[in-house]
A and B are shown apart, each in its own frame.
Chain A
Amino acid sequence: MAKEGLGFEITELRLGLPGGSMTEKSVKKRVFSEISEEEKSNGKSQVVGWPPVCSYRKKNSFGDKDGSKTSKFYVKVSMDGAPFLRKIDLALHKGYSDLATALEKLFGEALRDADSCEFVPIYEDKDGDWMLAGDVPWEMFIESCKRLRIMKKTDVKGFGVLQPREALKGTMKE
C-alpha cells in the first residue's frame, strides 16, 4: 500500500489538506527502509540514483555483476568417468585454488567413485591446443580458456598434452 502511494502520488488528484503531507514524508522514509530490506535480500538496489556513482563508472568497473561479462566466461567442463558435462563460469572465481574447490563441488561424486587415481586439469586454449592448467596468470587463463577437462593421470601419456610454448621452444633448441 505504501509503495503504491509512492508510485501514483503525482497522478492522483488529492482532496486532502496540505497537512496530510506529514504522513507522506514518513511514508517515504519508511518505504526506503522497506526497500533497503529488499535490497539486502535481492543483492540489488531499488533506489534510482543511489549510491551516487556516475553511470559510466557503474557500467565499466562493476561489469562482472551486469551479466554481460560473466556469460563470456562460461566454459564446458568434462571429467573422465563422469556421465555428464558441466558448465562453469570462470569469471566467478578468483584464482586456480578457487576453481579447484568449485570443480570438486561439481564433480564430487565422480571424484569419490573413481578408484583412487589422480586427476590432471587441462584446458583447450584459443589456438586449439590442450594445455596444463596453472602455468599462466589467472587473468590470462580465463581469457584464453575455451573448455576444461579433468583427465585421469593414467590417460595422459597417450594424449600428447603440450607444455606452454616458451618451454617448448627451450627444449627444441637443445
Chain B
Amino acid sequence: MFWGSRKTIDMNYFPDEVLEHVFDFITSHKDRNSVSLVCKSWYKIEKYSRQRVFLGNCYSISPERLIARFPGLKSLILKGKPHFADFNLVPDDWGGFLYPWIKAMAKSRIGLEELRLKRMVVSDESLELLSESFPNFKSLVLVSCEGFTTDGLAAIAANCRFLRELDLQENEVEDHRGYWLSCFPGSCTSLVSLNFACLKGEINLASLERLVARSPNLKSLRLNRAVPFDTLQRLLIRAPQLVDLGTGSYIHDPSSEAYNKLKAAIQNCNSIRSLSGFLEVAPCCMPAIYPICENLTFLNLSYAAGLQSNELTRLIHHCRKLQRLWILDCIGDKGLGVVASTCKELQELRVFPSDPFDAGNAAVTEEGLVLVSEGCPKLNSLLYFCQQMTNAALITVAKNCTNFIRFRLCILDPIKPDPVTNQPLDEGFGAIVRSCKGLKRLSLSGLLTDQVFYYIGMYAKKLEMLSIAFAGNSDKGMLYVLNGCKKLRKLEIRDCPFGDTALLEDMGKYETMRSLWMSTCEVTLGACKVLAKKMPSLNVEIINESEQTEFNLDDRQKVDKMYLYRTLVGHRKDAPEFVWLL
C-alpha cells in the first residue's frame, strides 16, 4: 500500500550505505559539490564519503576547515601561486607553502594517499613529515614547485612503503647528491610511475637499474640528463612493459654495439605510447626510435634543442597516431606542414620558442598554424609561439577547427599588428571565439583594441580563463569581458589601460571567480581599498616591491601588482612584508 500510493521513490528511504554507494559513481568535483547541496542527509553522506578534493587556490580555505569538511580525505590537489608567477612576475617568498597542510592533516590523522601540487613552496621538512605521517601514501605529483632538495625526495623514497607514483614536473630542485634514489628500500616493488627529468644532478645508475628491475608494474619512466645512453638501453631491457618513456641523454655513436643493443631493446617495447626527453641528443641516433613511433599518441620534443627541422620532420613522418605534440619552433612552417599531413588524429599542439629573446628569428608564422588547422580537424588545444599572425590566418583557422577548448597564441612581439594589413588582430580572435563555442581558455597577443574584448564578451560564453597582455584602449575592454563571460573563473591582465571604473563596476562578479590578477594597469590603491572594504569575501592583495610603506602612499597612486581571490577564511597569515592585505 505504501509503495502503491507513491509516484516517485523517496531516496531517503534507503540506508546511508546505499546512497554512499550511489555517490561513489559520481566522480566529478562539480557534481559532488551539487550533491552535497541537495539536503542535509545527502550533505552528511557526501561529506564523509568524499575522498578526492581539488583546491584551485590554497588560500581559499584553511587546512583545518578542509579537514573538518571532508574528514575522509584521501586525495588532494592544491595550487598555490598565481599563474603569472611562472613568468617571474611574483617575487620569491610570496607564499603557497605546503607545510601547514601536511601538519594539519598529520595532526588529524587524515589517511592521505595522493597529493598533487602546482606552484607551491615545498620544503624538505614538509616532505619528511609527509613521508612519516601517512602510511598508505601512494602518489606524489609536483608541478612547477620549488623549495625542496633531493634530501626531501630521499625521505619520500625511504619511508613511503607503498609508493606508486613519484612525478616531478618542471620543479626547481636543489640537487645535493644522487643518493636519494638509493633510498628506495629493496622491498619497494610497487612503483608505477617515476619521473625525475627535472633533476640536474647525478644519480646512482646501478640503484636505478635495480629499482626498475624490481618494479614489474612500472609504466612510466622519465629520466634526467645525467642518465646516459648505455643505462637507457639496460633499463629498457628490464622494463619492456613501459607505456611512457622520457630519455635522459641520448648521445652515442650509431655504429657502436650499445646503439644496436638499444635498437633491439626498443623494438621490444611494444607498449610505449608516450615519448619525451632527449635533453641532450645526437640526431644520428634518432632512427633507433622509429619503430615505436608508429604507436605514439604523445610526443614531447620541446626540450630537445639538439634536433633541427629536417630531423624533426623525418621523425614525425613515422608518427601517424599522434594525438599530442609538443615541439620547438625550429620545426618551421614547412615542418608543421608535415605534421598536418601525417598526424590526422592530432588534438593538442604546443610550439615553443627555441630562442625567446630574438623575435626576428622565430621560425614559425601564421602559415604553419593554417596548415595544421587544415590537416588536423580534431585539433582542440593550442599553445603557439610565433613571429607573426594575421587576421586572415586566424579566420581560416577558426573555420577549419571549431573544437578548440584551449587557444593560446603568443606573438613574440606582443603589440605586433597584422603584418599584411597593419590592422589589430581583433577580427582574427573574434572569429576564433565566434566559431569555437566550447572555448574554455584563451590567451591573446598582438596589437588589440577594445573591439576584441567586445567579441569575447559577446561570444565566449563558456570561457573560464583569459590571459591578456598589452591590449585594449580603455575600461570598456575589461567591462565587456566581466559582463559577458558568465563562466569566467580566472582573469589575468598585465600592462593594459584598465582602471578603477572597470575594477569597481561589478564587485560581486569576483565572488563568482577564483581570482583576478592585474599588473601594470591603471588601477589605483584607493580603488583596491574600496573593493576590499565592500567585499569581505575577497582577499585583495597588493604586491609592492618598492621601498615605500603603506602610509606614504597616496590613494591615487597606481598599484603595480594586484591579486584578488575569493576566500572563506579572510586574510592569510603567511603574507610577506611586500604583500599588503587590504
Contacts and interface: CB of A to CB of B under 8 A. Distances in A.
B357 A44 contact: yes
Nearest to A63: B305
B328 interface: yes
B45 interface: no
Interface in A1-59: 9-11, 13-14, 18, 21, 24-25, 28-29, 32-33, 36, 39-40, 43-45, 47-58
A58 B253 CA distance: 29
Interface stretch (A106-114, A136-144, A149-157): A136-144
A5 to B, nearest CB: 12
Contacts of B520: 28
A64 interface: yes
B560 to A, nearest CB: 6
Interface residues of B, number: 64
A87 interface: no
B88 A55 contact: yes
* Chain A contact residues: helix, strand, loop or mixed: helix
B198 interface: yes
A14 B556 CA distance: 8
Given A10-B546, A44-B357, A51-B353, A25 B522 contact: yes
A54 B470 CA distance: 18
A94 B330 CA distance: 14
B352 A57 contact: yes
B303 A61 contact: yes
A62 interface: yes
Nearest to A42: B357
Interface stretch (B10-18, B480-488, B491-499, B564-572): B491-499
Given A18-B556, A166-B255, A54 B87 contact: yes
Contacts of B499: 21
A137 B251 CA distance: 8
Nearest to B520: A28
A65 interface: yes
Nearest to B119: A54
A9 B545 CA distance: 13
Q: Which of B328, B443, B546 has the most CB of A within 10 A?
A: B546
A63 B385 CA distance: 19
B357 A11 contact: no
Contacts of A11: 546-548
Contact of B357 (A9, A13, A43): A43
Contact of B495 (A32, A36, A43, A56): A32
A57 B352 CA distance: 9
B33 interface: no
A67 B320 CA distance: 38
18 contacts: A11-B548, A18-B556, A39-B357, A49-B494, A50-B469, A51-B353, A53-B87, A53-B356, A54-B170, A56-B171, A61-B328, A62-B354, A62-B356, A137-B253, A137-B254, A137-B283, A139-B282, A140-B251
Nearest 4 pairs between A and B by C-beta? A49-B87, A54-B86, A25-B497, A137-B282
Interface of B: 84, 86-89, 144, 170-172, 198, 251-256, 279-285, 302-303, 305-306, 308, 328, 352-360, 385, 410, 412-415, 443, 467, 469-470, 494-495, 497, 499, 520, 522, 544, 546-548, 554, 556-560
Interface of A: 9-11, 13-14, 18, 21, 24-25, 28-29, 32-33, 36, 39-40, 43-45, 47-58, 60-65, 94, 136-140, 143, 166
